[in-house]
Amino acid sequence: MIATVSAMGMTAFLGGCGSTGSSDVTLRLVAADYGDSAANSSQKYWDSLVKEYETTHPGVKVQVSVYSWNDVDRKVKEMVDAGHAPDMAQIGAYADYAAAGKLYAASDLLSIRTQADFLSQLADAGQWSHTQYGIPFAASTRVLFYNKTLFTSAGITPPTSWDELAADARALKAKGVKYPFALPLGPEEAQAETMQWLLSGGDGGTGGTGFTDEIGTYTIDSEQNVRTFSWLKDDLVAKGLTGPVAPGKLNRAQAFAAFADGQVGMVDGHPTLIQQAEAKGVRFGMVPTPSRTGRARASMGVSDWMMAFKQNGHADQIGDFLNFVYSEKNVLDFSRDYGLLPVTTSASNAMSASDAAPDKALHPFLDQLATSELYPVGKTSWASVSAAVKQNIGQAVAPGGDPAGVLTRLQATATAADSAAGTG
């Protein structure tokens, strides 16, 4: 979600060292790439981590395959469908595999100390049928990034409401800004941009419903959500305020890169954009994402998930490796490398207490995490619903598009997926 991604889609295989004869075990992990170039691919993180682990565990080898977020969920599904599940996968959703009985419960793998260290709202979100199968790996929240230089030139201030956002976008367009407001509804992470807008679409100070209501029933085509996407289509996209690339074809990585190049006035972003913008010398600010009325409402949180498949056995070795992965040091190293939020209490407390870079810049995101609303990842239907949103939501704001029709079709997809999964 959460998350910036690499277009490299590369695969790395990391060998182990040492041997203990018949006790040798090779673990296979498929992981997502959080980098935005070959230079900072997640391969480097896993390469270093695995090397350190294998040095003290000569009987265990870990092979890591790293794919872009455009490909990683599909790759894992193909492996599982072919009967060759990896030992571990670090991807975007877990519940469908849990419901199929393919995953180890977290309690089968992790020490009590490791389990107790996860932030409670993330551990709860990792439950299917009251048992935790999804192990949170990385988290983020969203804020509105704005280019201070472009705002000063246009004589405007950061928006707090949708009306102010549209007015700022018009002023930026008048100054020749290429993307007054970047709206990435492309297939890379459209479900995140969509949920952020749905949550901010409430009236009278109430938050939007997101994808589901309070009891977990899909409400994608609610009247409120239709109004939200009608506003996006009519007040932003149709007026040329979202840039030259159609939102349905604009991926988040492209939008972030354009912001880092000084071509974007505003974009909803997660913490990794800080590093990209700073690396290019962009002067930027961050404010809470505007809502319909400008009043307080829930913000969106995203967690990506680690899971372990039972097919190959190896529960003891998987658990030992994951206990190592989730040490305070390793969680902090990953979070700092990629500008993401720690998923454990110990690492979160350490980051909150630090005023050093990059920790201090992450404090606004960290403060929102405890009260944020996550995707309905505990629903076995969520993976297919998320995929449908990624592929189709851009049509809702396209020229001639019908927001109500698109959302109604997505609702039908969600309802059918829920029915097929046997979950509410």
Res. 160: pLDDT tops 70: yes
Q: Over 163-181, what HEC string results?
A: HHHHHHHHHHHHCCCCEEE
Res. 297: pLDDT tops 70: no
342 and 351 in contact (C-beta within 8 Å)? yes
In the chain, % of residues over pLDDT 90: 72
Question: Taking the model in full, what pTM does it have?
Answer: 0.77
144 and 266 in contact (C-beta within 8 Å)? yes
Residue appearing with tokens 């030139």 = 153
226 and 403 in contact (C-beta within 8 Å)? yes
Structure tokens at 4: 């910036």
Structure tokens at 214: 């309070």
Structure tokens at 54: 């294998």
CATH numbers and ranges of domains, the chain = 21-140+302-369 (3.40.190.10), 143-298 (3.40.190.10)
At residue 23 the predicted structure's pLDDT band, cuts being 50, 70 and 90, is low
Residue 195 CA to residue 1 CA, distance in Å, equals: 11
pLDDT at 271: 86
Beta-carbon count within 10 A of 345 CB: 14
At residue 21 the predicted structure's pLDDT band, cuts being 50, 70 and 90, is very low
Q: Which SS3 state, helix, strand or coil, does residue 78 take?
A: helix
- Express each pLDDT in 38-55 by its tens digit: 888 999 999 999 999 999
Res. 125: pLDDT tops 70: yes
Residue whose C-alpha is closest to residue 94's, from 130, 138, 125: 125
- Averaged pLDDT for residues 14-26: 51
Res. 14: pLDDT tops 60: no
At residue 10 the predicted structure's pLDDT band, cuts being 50, 70 and 90, is very low
Which residues does 34 contact at the CB level (< 8 Å), separation at least 6?
3, 4, 5, 6, 42, 138, 272, 338, 340
- Single-letter code of the amino acid located at 40: N
- Express each pLDDT in 52-96 by its tens digit: 999 999 999 999 999 998 899 999 999 999 999 999 999 988 998
What is the residue-averaged pLDDT of the chain?
A: 90
Res. 8: pLDDT tops 70: no
Q: Over 141-157, what HEC string results?
A: ECEEEEEHHHHHHHCCC
266 and 154 in contact (C-beta within 8 Å)? no
- The residue ranges of DSSP E strands in 192-333, in sequence order, are 264-269, 284-287, 301-308
92 and 1 in contact (C-beta within 8 Å)? yes
Per DSSP, 161 falls in state B
Q: Which of 6-20, 52-66, 279-293 has the lowest mean pLDDT?
A: 6-20
Structure tokens at 385: 């619903």
Residue 196 CA to residue 202 CA, distance in Å, equals: 12
Q: Which residues pair with 268 in a beta bridge?
A: 144
Name the more confident of 356 and 167: 167
DSSP 286-324: EEPPPBSSSS--PPBEEEEEEEEBSTT--HHHHHHHHHH
At residue 424 the predicted structure's pLDDT band, cuts being 50, 70 and 90, is very low
Between the alpha carbon of residue 205 and those of residues 144, 192, 220, 294, 297, the distances in Å are 19, 22, 20, 8, 7
pLDDT at 38: 83
- Express each pLDDT in 201-235 by its tens digit: 876 445 567 899 888 899 999 999 999 999 999 99
Structure tokens at 317: 């070795």
Structure tokens at 305: 């998930």
In the chain, % of residues over pLDDT 70: 92
277 and 287 in contact (C-beta within 8 Å)? no
344 and 335 in contact (C-beta within 8 Å)? no
Res. 371: pLDDT tops 90: no
